[in-house]
Amino acid sequence: MIVVSNTTPLIGLASIERFHLLQQMFGEIHIAQALYDEAVVAGREEGGAKQEVSTATWIKTLPIQDQLAVDVLLDELDLGEAETIVLAHELKADWVLMDEKKGRRKLDQLGIAKIGTLGLLLKAKQTGLLSAIRPDVERLHRQGFSIRQAIMDAVLVEAREF
């Protein structure tokens, strides 16, 4: 299974000390060079993501081949989202980890499967990696992670924790 991640799920899971779930669920994650630069090189030390991403041997950083495709997407998306989507297309990814609404819309248009941070927590519960997700969802929310209440409620209902 090929999985490509955007920055936000990495930051979100690192901030609640659940970063390890990514390796447990997927084994290996691919990120675009712009994401590595954003999370590690530029030093956006949000929730421990810099440390986690820089030391995770199971995260593979890859350069984008089609820079023109990235440039076209920059009209609608930021660099990290654009490179994530182009990398996912280049690798023929099975899943893209992304929370941003505009990026998710573009993935839908391209027919690429996506899952966000809350979806990852729900999947972890459904596969037995977590016994409950409500504490993690609430912690994300308290830390200012942008989550609409309706989405939070829907995920907790699905997890039978509402």
Kindly indicate the confidence band of residue 47, based on its pLDDT and cuts at 50, 70 and 90: low
What gap in Å lies between CA 158 and CA 162, rounded to an integer? 8
Q: Residue 67: which H helix or E strand, with range?
A: helix 67-73
pLDDT at 46: 57
Q: Mean pLDDT score of the chain, rounded to an integer?
A: 91
Which tokens is 138 given? 């609430």
Specify the range with the lowest mean pLDDT, choosing from 89-98, 126-135, 148-157. Answer: 148-157
Helix axes 134-142, 7-15, angle to 10 degrees: 110
Query: Quick one: tokens of 39?
Result: 């999370």
Work out the pLDDT band at 43, boundaries 50, 70, 90. low
Q: Is 150 helix (H, G, I), strand (E, B) or coil?
A: helix
Instruction: For residue 33, count CB atoms less than 10 angstroms from its CB and return exposed for 0-12, middle for 13-18, buried for 19 or more.
Output: middle
Per residue in 116-145, pLDDT (tens digit) is: 999 999 999 999 999 999 999 999 999 888
Segments making up each domain of the chain, as ranges? 3-118, 123-158
Which residue is it, tokens 């691919």? 30
pTM, entire model: 0.91
What is the mean predicted confidence (pLDDT) over 139-152? 88
| Band (59; pLDDT cuts 50, 70, 90) | very high
Strands (E) in 82-132, as ranges, are 95-97, 114-115
d(CA 116, CA 134): 16
Strands (DSSP E) contained in the chain are 3-5, 29-32, 59-62, 95-97, 114-115
Q: What is the pLDDT of residues 101-114, one digit of tens each?
A: 999 999 999 999 99
Long-range contacts at 141-148 (CB < 8 A, ≥ 24 apart): 143/15, 143/16, 143/47, 145/12, 145/15, 145/117, 146/99, 147/118
In words, the CATH class of domain 3-118 is alpha beta
Which of 1-5, 45-49, 126-130, 154-158 shows the lowest mean pLDDT across its residues? 45-49
Nearest to 156 by CA among 134, 123, 136: 134
